[in-house]
A and B are shown apart, each in its own frame.
Chain A
Amino acid sequence: MYGWLWRALPGPTPVRALLVAVLALGVVAACFTWVFPAIAPLMPFNDITVD
C-alpha cells in the first residue's frame, strides 16, 4: 500500500527511512491537533451535562 511512497522518496535507504518517520510524525501531529478534536464530539461517550 505504501510502496509508491517509498519509491517516490529520494535518496538512499537511511534518508528514505528518516523521511518516512518525519512524514508519519506530521500525520500524527495533524491528527492530534485538528482531526481528533473535530471528531471527538461525535463520539458517544463525551456527554456529561443534563439537557
Chain B
Amino acid sequence: MTLGVLIGLFVVWQLWWTDVAAGQEQAQAVADLGWEEPVTVPEPVERTDAPPVLEEPEELTTFATLQVPRWGEDYVQPITQGVGQDVLDHLGVGHYPGTAMPGGVGNHAVAAHRVTYGKPFNRVAELELGDPLVVRTEDTWYVYRVTSTEIVLPHQVEVIAPVPGEPEAVPTERRMTLTTCHPMFSAEERFIVHAELDHWMPVADGTPAALDGGA
C-alpha cells in the first residue's frame, strides 16, 4: 500500500506540481529580464535585410523570449542557453549551444517539454504552416514562420543542423527549429518544427503585426 501511495504521489508531482513550480520559474525568468515594454506604432516597418545577431551567452543565461500567437495571446516563454535538465526542467525553452542565435544564418534550435515542467511546447501539434514564431531579444524582434513539421527518432540530430537534414551543407537561410517529445508522455520519438525568418524589426520601431491579432 505504501508503495502504491508513493507512486501515486509521484504521478501527482510529475503531472501537476512540476507544471506549477516550473510555470512560476518561467514567468519569473521573463519578468526578471526587465525589458522595455513593446511600443505600438501605426505601420511598423518589417525589415528583411541582415538583422543584428547576439553572441551566444553563458549557459543558463536567459537571452530571449518566444511568443507563439497560435498558442494564445498571453503565451510568452523565456529562451535560455543550454539544453540540460537544469534549463529544461526549470526555465522552459533551451537553446542548443552551437546552433545559430536568433536571426543568425543557420538554425536557431531550441528544445522544451511538451508535457510537465510548465510544458512550453504542449500545443506543438496545433501549429500550421505559415504560423509565426516571434522571438524577441532585448532590442530586436525576429518573426519566423513555420515551414514544415516532422516526426523523427531521438538520434536524428540532423534536424538541428544549420541546414536541417543536410549536416554538411553551408547555410544561407536564417532558420529556427523546435524539438520536443512525441508522442506525448513518451520519449520514443521527437516532434520537430522548422521555421524560416520572415522579417525582423528593432523593438524601438514597433511591435510585429503577428502579435496584435494580425497574421
Interface residues of A (CB under 8 A from B): 1, 28, 31-32, 36-37, 39-41, 43-51
Q: How large is the interface on B (under 10, 10 to 19, 20 to 34, 35 or more residues)?
A: 35 or more
Give me the 8 closest cross-chain CB pairs, A-B, nearest first. Answer: A47-B187, A36-B13, A49-B111, A48-B181, A49-B83, A50-B157, A48-B180, A48-B111
| Residue in A32, A36, A48 whose CB lies within 8 Å of B179 | A48
* Contact partners of B13 in chain A: CB under 8 A: 31-32, 36
- Provide the residues of chain B in CB contact with A36, threshold 8 Å: 9-10, 13-14
Residues of B within 8 A of A46 (CB): 89, 113, 116, 187
The interface-forming segment of B30-38, B57-65, B148-156, B203-211 is B148-156
Known: A28-B9, A31-B6, A31-B9. A47 touches B181 (CB 8 A): yes
Shortest Cβ distance from B83 into A: residue: A49
Is the pair A50, B14 in contact by a Cβ cutoff of 8 Å? Answer: no
